[in-house]
Structure 1
Amino acid sequence: MSKIFFIIFLFNFFPSINSNPLKLPYENRSLIVLAAPSIWDVNYADDFISIVEFQIKLVKILNEYETAILIADRHTMPLLDGRTKMLREHLPSTLLLEGNIYDINLRDFAPMGCLKQIKFIYRNAEWAPIASKQVDDSINRFLMKNRIKLQRREPEVVLSGRDVVDNGKNRALISNTALITNMEKLPEWSLTLKLQNAFNKVVIVPSPTSFTGRKNLRLDDVLAFADDGLLIISGLDPVTKSRTISELYKREKKDVAVLELPIGDEEKYVKDEGNCGLYTTMLGTEKSLFVPVFGNNPANWKRGYSTKTDKMVLRLIETNTRKRVIPVNIPREICRRGISLRSLAWILRGSAANQIRGLARGKEN
């Protein structure tokens, strides 16, 4: 186990990380697509303003390093482009695209894969079946209406992005929840082959266990690839950690190194809500890592989160990855709901990315 597992602690803190981004031409950038909640969506009504303002800020940050676009329905669009003066910040029309997407955790139900973009069936075990189907239908309508070219659809496999942690290149960890969900329709060997067709190397790992306040942790809350061969693990869940390392050692041998992030006051982390304090909810592209930080938010201060820990973790990650590391402030209204940088984002490259860029700019590709 020691061959792939190492823990690094650093005690020097630095004021900034990668403050001068490398400006890349658009064709060399990843496209990151987000979906705003509808102004009529009762599920997000309590925190609607906080969520939308966070998404606007996030799109602006992402566009400094990659390309990002926010999808919204026609009722919500006037708030985002400034026609309705309800929000403090707005986006230009070139970063907005009209569409009716029925949930904001776009990564869960959008096409995914390392080798090719494949649209799987989406179902959420926490929702009524009809609600999951409506969300899945909404992204399918968006893809068909805009003639977005996918490499494949997989009509036999139910798979949510919450159960997938991939490096975007050639490997993925898949929660054993996917096996349970598909066991009545597909034998394990058949499901594994279909997953390998999308992600190449696949390792099945245990889903996160529940804690006092963290009852619905996702696999992509506690694991993240910081580089092609570097997996970062949150120390919050010792069961998931040990079993994941064991499965990696059996399957990947020396191809993947594992870095465990320190979590500070363990009792505080265990009792908190959502994914607050979990730096493993980071969003990674080919060249960048957007890492959540929690110490700049007053509501998070009261929970004991600090900029000191943020800086330590940022430096620890930066030391171990070739990618540039960009901190993103996370409001408590976001993390306590279990919303993360990664769950919000659908990452594309190639022809599909160019099509969506063209739609936002009012052009046809």
Structure 2
Amino acid sequence: MIAFIVGTTAELIKISPVHHELVARGRAVEIWYSGQHVEELAGTLDDLGLPAPQVWLVPRESARNIARPADVPRWVARLAGTVVRRRADLAQRLASDGTPPLVLVHGDTFTAPLGALVGRALGARVGHVEAGLRSGNLLHPFPEELNRRVVGRLADLHFPPTPVEAHHLRRRRGVIVTTGANTVVDAVRYALARPGRHTVQLPEVYAVATLHRFELVRREDLYRQALEILKEYSRRVPIIYFAGASERERLEQYGLLDVFDAEHFRIEDKLSYVAFLPVLAGAQFVVTDSGGLQEESAHLSIPCAVHRAHTERDAGEGRTMVLTRLDVGRLRAFLEDPQRYRSSDAREDYTPSATVADAIDALL
């Protein structure tokens, strides 16, 4: 049996096409949920056509969103306690269909190394989807870069998106299968094929922005500077800034909610994935610090500025994407003429989720 051990909405988005592909091939598949994100779970599952998690690795009734680094130790302890208590039951579930047990983890959240450890503890092979991404700096982003490297040492099956990431794994044990692109491209296709409803009033021409990473928002000066630059350039093209509850709390803490207005630089609540993708697809450009949004913008050939010090993804770099390295001069240069980064080289020929499923069929 195959168990996806995931815990965030971003992981659910990117494993969903792999899940659908494996189920279509008759594989026994379950979702085991770590509970990093809880509040958004039901809507995300409905959006993506996924079943409810068959296993909760933390007590479901008391699960809460992991919003701060201080929440992590207690969450890890609860997850470890569940696995220890249910070890025999979980191992039996993995062996229930008579096929070699496989645990699949994704990306670089805390759940990825924990899920890999759980898989190893239960005697399963471990596969890592979106493997091999490296920023080259252990502290940027932290802890994501460390999480990726830990999983790289634990996994038996590595699924890097491109030869660049495969090269990073050349000294790792196990089987390496390059998928040609990130599984997010399949998720984008799925979402755009069944657009969700949203209540955001969109101007005829607009751009999209999101900023949420700890390395930026923990620095009031850098966060304020970026928002003020976006406000300045929103006079040319209206910018819709999507923010979740934690970002709004930080904006209120810093007294930055007054930066936004109703006409040019609007703040809106985050949308579900299926509702957000059509909004993204219509944007003139994107400013973000999200690796996932960087990937989606590259696939849709939308000009994108990634406002981060480092990125582990080269998707679109130099063609549809600019890495600002938190340099406001680079951000301004992008905003002066974002359309020079518009391209039409979206890679429609890749179906990475099918490649993952093909490899699993061949290896198990």
Shared fold, TM over 0.5: no
Task: Kindly indicate whether structure 1 or structure 2 has the higher relative contact order, using CA contacts under 8 Å at least 6 residues apart.
Answer: 1
Q: Which one has the bigger helix percentage?
A: 2
Q: TM-score, normalised by structure 1?
A: 0.28
